[in-house]
Amino acid sequence: MKRSRPSSCRPIFWWLGALAAGSLCAGANVDHFADNGYGNVLSTLQHPAGEHYQGVTYVAYQGPHEDPYVAAYVHATGTWIGPVQAGINTMGKSPDQIDKGELDNHGKPALIVDRQGYIHLVFGSHGGEAKYGPNPLGEFFMGTKGKMTHVVSQKPGDISAWRTLDNIPPFGTYNQWIKLANGDLYLFYRHGGHRSDWVYQKSVDDGRTFSAPVSVLKHKVSAASPTVDDSWYAWFDQGKGDTITASYVYHPCANPKHNAQRQDTYYMVMDCRDGSWRNVQGQSLAAPVTKEDADRLARIEVTGKDRPSHGTTHVDAEGRPQLCFPFAQKVRYYRWDGKAWQKPVEVAAGMGHVNDGDFVVDSPTTTRMILGLGNPGRDEVGWWKTTDGGRTWAKDAVLISSADQSFQTSAMIRNAHPDAQMLLAGVNPALGHLYRPMYLVGEHGPLGRPAASYLGERLEQIKSLPPPNTAKAEAKRKKKAGLGDDEP
């Protein structure tokens, strides 16, 4: 079903002045900036979800129909622009569903601002569909769907109008942007379903054209068993200078079916000057990296029965990596001290359900991490800090808390302003729909605005939908056996 932008969400740019004056739907201030996040709105995997650029923080998230939405916060005036719909995710269903099992949730947008100030989003795919042609670097597996889509703002710094650039393959999942100091853009993603290579494409002209995909992590039938395929979950970020770091976990994908297994943690780094990869000790890794070479040269820890998920990685001023990997309801921190990997440490141990998060490296031994904590009767997102290289952690300021909702977290905002460091979505299971309030939090808590709704007629449209199929959802949950909603 072909969809166009709903009239209730079309950008009306008289609002630039109206918002600056705080006159749009004037009402009491609220701590969220939008109420139209939808489904599993955010993940640290699709990143960055926002960037601070020339005094404005731009953020992107999954909105109604799983379409990408963008909003902008002007720090000098303390005002919001948007949110506006920036494109169409072909995986969305109309009307918006109330059964979370009907959502794919893999098409969330990642955002970057190029050196000219144009805003880019990539979104909309869970491996891509076979109708778009053969996938040379991956497989169509478990109903891959959607089309990876690249849109760019029509004017620098202006989120009111967007155009599509047909310059990337349709077969992506887990889209991740990196921008080097010289302005070169790298787009990393998995090139299809589970049994696909992780790749990158490079642009030296602000995203107008890209090189062909270059494979980084190799998918193949496992040497250990013909019924397992070597697969991966990976997270890429800028390292020191002209380098890009990669942290990842191994996924032994059962063949012909699928499983939820994840194991072992890995790290390596790319020299962008020649595209070569090396491990933390400087030994070369031939790309695309196989399971055998990863185990031999890049593995940090054999995790055994503990199941890690994709993590986040940053480096200190010397280029030494620090990593954070979620393990079920825990988060484990790793640090390279220049000679060896320190013993991993559980952050916020004994504090209840610890959700995914991200961190900032202030010095080789001082690191601050934003984590979500879930406990009966109170969920919160706040800082944890170490000053001894991660050996011990202390709780610091709480950024937001709630008695009736939990919070989904993004990765850190790129080039973050102190007042706007992470994007959050609130999840209240008591509500009869899947719309979420959106928050941008920083040193002084959430950046709110006068109360307004951006849902239009949507709450009315979903009233005719049948209730969620709880039996089907429970069967799906058991089948996925601990797999997160964002990782089917």
Concatenating the DSSP letter of every residue in 348-392 gives: TTTSSEEEEEEEEESSSS-EEEEEEEEETTEEEEEEEEESSTTSS
Pairing of strands 406-417, 353-361: unpaired
CA-CA distance, 309 to 324, in Å (whole number)?
Answer: 10
Residue 308: phi and psi, rounded to 5, are: -85, 155
**Residue reference for tokens 């079903």:** 1
Specify the 3-state DSSP secondary structure of 457. coil
CA-CA distance, 192 to 40, in Å (whole number)?
Answer: 20
314 noted as active-site residue: no
The whole-number average pLDDT for the span 253-282 is 94
pLDDT at 4 over 60: no
**Do the beta carbons of residue 186 and residue 200 sit within 8 Å?**
yes
What is the percent of the chain where pLDDT is above 70?
A: 91
Two tokens, residue 325: 């990997």
Residue 23: per-residue pLDDT: 34
Q: Which segment of 135-149, 275-289, 411-425 scores lowest on mean pLDDT?
A: 135-149
CA-CA distance, 164 to 148, in Å (whole number)?
Answer: 11
Of the residues 58, 174, 267, 333, only one is catalytic, namely 174
The whole-number average pLDDT for the span 437-466 is 96
Number of other residues whose CB lies within 10 A of the CB of residue 400: 20
**Do the beta carbons of residue 57 and residue 477 sit within 8 Å?**
no
Closest Cα partner for 405 from 391, 424, 384, 382? 424
pLDDT grade for 2, boundaries at 50, 70 and 90: very low
- How many alpha carbons lie under 13 Å from residue 108 in its C-beta half-sphere? 33
pLDDT grade for 375, boundaries at 50, 70 and 90: confident
**Do the beta carbons of residue 189 and residue 173 sit within 8 Å?**
yes
pLDDT grade for 14, boundaries at 50, 70 and 90: very low
CA-CA distance, 44 to 412, in Å (whole number)?
Answer: 8
CA-CA distance, 68 to 109, in Å (whole number)?
Answer: 6
CA-CA distance, 35 to 143, in Å (whole number)?
Answer: 31
Number of other residues whose CB lies within 10 A of the CB of residue 211: 12
**Residue reference for tokens 């991993």:** 344
258 noted as active-site residue: no
Task: With 0.85 as the threshold, say if the pTM is over it.
Answer: yes
**Do the beta carbons of residue 170 and residue 128 sit within 8 Å?**
yes
**Do the beta carbons of residue 352 and residue 364 sit within 8 Å?**
no
Closest Cα partner for 29 from 445, 459, 456? 445
Concatenating the DSSP letter of every residue in 275-335 gives TEEE-TTS-EEPSSBPHHHIIIIIEEE--TT--B---EEEE-TT--EEEEEEETTEEEEEE
Q: Tell me the helix, strand and coil percentages in the chain, rounded to 5.
A: 10, 45, 45
Q: Which segment of 13-22, 200-209, 258-267, 298-307 scores lowest on mean pLDDT?
A: 13-22
Residue 479: per-residue pLDDT: 54
Specify the 3-state DSSP secondary structure of 311. coil
pLDDT at 485 over 50: no
pLDDT at 108 over 80: yes
Residue 477: per-residue pLDDT: 59
pLDDT at 269 over 50: yes
**Residue reference for tokens 């190799």:** 218
The whole-number average pLDDT for the span 205-233 is 97
Two tokens, residue 84: 């506006």
Q: Give the pLDDT confidence of 341-357 residue by residue, as tens digits.
A: 999 999 999 999 998 88
**Do the beta carbons of residue 105 and residue 99 sit within 8 Å?**
no
Of the residues 65, 106, 150, 219, only one is catalytic, namely 106
Q: Please give the domain boundaries of the chain with CATH numbers for all domains.
A: 7-480 (2.130.10.150)
The whole-number average pLDDT for the span 376-396 is 96
Two tokens, residue 170: 């349709």
Residue 145: per-residue pLDDT: 94
